[in-house]
């Protein structure tokens, strides 16, 4: 379902089917990137990062968006604001497909 501001809500599904968090975004990829930045096991570089499968159920629909996600630590940019820490978590995702669930 699309909100008034054009964003949609996506629930992060665990392997047992429970939903632990909700991420919003204009596209499923935007929500998946937000979810990927919260991966606990981040790598030292993008190449060394462990890949994980994440599943996002689009609220109000039967669509389950499946992504391969990975995250890594990197140094903050030189022109960073004062509040930003010295290291930041970056992430990337690759869409694996869409499944349709029996229950929305």
C-alpha to C-alpha distance for 33 and 67, rounded to whole angstroms? 10
Residue 1's pLDDT is 67
Our count of domains for the chain comes to 1
Q: What is the mean pLDDT of the chain?
A: 92
C-alpha to C-alpha distance for 39 and 82, rounded to whole angstroms? 25
Is 3 a member of any domain?
Answer: no
C-alpha to C-alpha distance for 91 and 47, rounded to whole angstroms? 12
63, β-bridge pairs: 100
For the segment 43-65, what is each residue's pLDDT rounded down to a tens digit? 999 999 999 999 999 999 999 99
- Domain limits at 84? 8-96
Is 101 a member of any domain?
Answer: no
């Amino acid at each position: 379902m699309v909100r008034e501001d054009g964003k949609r809500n996506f629930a992060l599904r665990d392997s047992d089917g429970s939903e632990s968090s909700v991420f919003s975004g204009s596209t499923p990829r935007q929500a998946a990137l937000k979810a990927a930045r919260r991966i606990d096991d981040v790598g030292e570089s993008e190449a060394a990062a462990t890949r994980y499968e994440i599943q996002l159920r689009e609220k109000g629909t039967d669509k389950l968006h499946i992504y391969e996600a990975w995250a890594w630590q990197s140094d903050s940019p030189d022109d960073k604001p004062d509040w930003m820490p010295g290291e930041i978590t970056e992430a990337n995702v690759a869409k694996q497909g869409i499944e349709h669930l029996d229950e929305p």
